[in-house]
A = this chain, B = another copy of it.
Amino acid sequence: MFVRHHSEIVPQKIEEGKGISIQWLIDDKVGAPNFALRRFTLDVGGYTPYHIHDWEHEVYVLSGKGSLVDEKGTEHPLREGDVAFVDPSLQHQFKNIGQEPFIFLCIVPL
């Protein structure tokens, strides 16, 4: 069991997409057996790649304004308190469409 503030976890830059950093808040390195909790920050103008993989995303938006692009290219706006589920094997992309960092939690299976 542990408690720590997210600010104790060093953000890592992601080279794909633009302006993305990730904090691995809880993962297998600290004993998580099933899933990992990550915190993403997309800078103003930032975006993830429009990509696909065979695992799901469960997302909770903490702050900022973003959008989730679905497999048809449709953009779904995202704001604080929004919840998003991305099924496995669906093309998707997250974008910052606001004027401040867009920050969200994203949980994935291990």
Are B83 and A56 closer than 8 Å at their CB atoms? Answer: no
Interface residue A100 (Cβ < 8 Å from any Cβ of B): no
Most chain B beta-carbon contacts within 10 A, residue among A2, A37, A78, A83: A83
- Measured between beta carbons, the chain B residues less than 8 angstroms from A4 are 82-83
Are A81 and B33 closer than 8 Å at their CB atoms? Answer: no
A70 to chain B, nearest CB (A): 5
A10 to chain B, nearest CB (A): 14
- Measured between beta carbons, the chain B residues less than 8 angstroms from A107 are 35, 37, 58, 107
A2 to chain B, nearest CB (A): 5
Give A37-79 as 1s and 0s: 1 = Cβ < 8 Å from B's Cβ atoms: 1000000000000000000101010100000101100001111
Are A85 and B32 closer than 8 Å at their CB atoms? Answer: yes
Are B3 and A60 closer than 8 Å at their CB atoms? Answer: no
